[in-house]
């Protein structure tokens, strides 16, 4: 799987969602390279548990850097079906590859139309340049 930023949908809060196959209803979720750069040195990440329900716009975990603790917000609603638990011990992966190896959770979406409310790459890029 090779995910590029142009293939993703974004929240204003810098989380991204990627759906490889809409028929599965599974969204892979992570945080953008912009967010990782802004946070700088990451030191801790709290993740949800498999089976936990998340809500679009609701907090699903947090990432801590040497300068701040930032909540992570889910781009979509649904049930967490997978977590990237190895990421917790290798947060530098987010700096190197936030879109492939740096995925955070996978969610079985309860309403795939929520993706339509997210930003496309061009719109997100403009937001980050302000």
Q: What is the pLDDT of residues 81-100, one digit of tens each?
A: 999 999 999 999 999 999 99
Whole-model pTM?
A: 0.94
Q: Which among 21, 52, 34, 32 is positioned nearest to 115, based on CA atoms?
A: 21
Radius of gyration (C-alpha) of the chain in whole angstroms: 13
Q: Is 3.40.50.10540 the CATH classification of the domain at 5-111? A: no
Residue 106 pairs in a beta bridge with 28, 82
pLDDT score recorded for residue 71: 97
What rounded mean pLDDT belongs to the chain?
94
Q: Which among 38, 7, 59 is positioned nearest to 127, based on CA atoms?
A: 38
Whether the per-residue pLDDT at 1 is higher than 60: the answer is: no
Characterize the bridge pairing of strands 15-18 and 9-10.
Answer: antiparallel
Give the separation between CA 102 and CA 95, rounded to whole angstroms.
Answer: 8
Residue entry with tokens 């390279």: 33
Q: Give percent above pLDDT 90 in the chain.
A: 89
pLDDT score recorded for residue 93: 95
Whether the per-residue pLDDT at 130 is higher than 90: the answer is: no
Mean pLDDT of 97-111: 96
φ and ψ at 84, to 5 degrees? -90, 75
Give the separation between CA 17 and CA 99, rounded to whole angstroms.
Answer: 10
Whether the per-residue pLDDT at 3 is higher than 90: the answer is: no
Whether the per-residue pLDDT at 129 is higher than 90: the answer is: no
């Amino acid at each position: 799987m090779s995910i590029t930023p142009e293939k993703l949908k974004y929240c204003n809060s810098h989380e991204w969602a990627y759906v490889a196959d809409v028929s599965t209803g599974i969204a892979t979720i992570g945080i953008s390279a912009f967010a990782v750069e802004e946070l700088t040195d990451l030191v801790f990440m709290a993740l949800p548990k498999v089976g936990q329900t998340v809500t679009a716009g609701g907090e699903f975990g947090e990432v801590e850097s040497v300068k701040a603790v930032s909540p992570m917000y889910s781009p979509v609603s649904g049930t967490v079906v997978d977590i990237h638990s190895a990421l917790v011990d290798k947060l530098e992966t987010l700096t190197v590859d936030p879109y492939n190896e740096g995925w955070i959770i996978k969610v079985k979406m309860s309403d795939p139309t929520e993706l339509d409310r997210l930003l496309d790459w061009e719109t997100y890029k403009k937001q980050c340049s302000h």
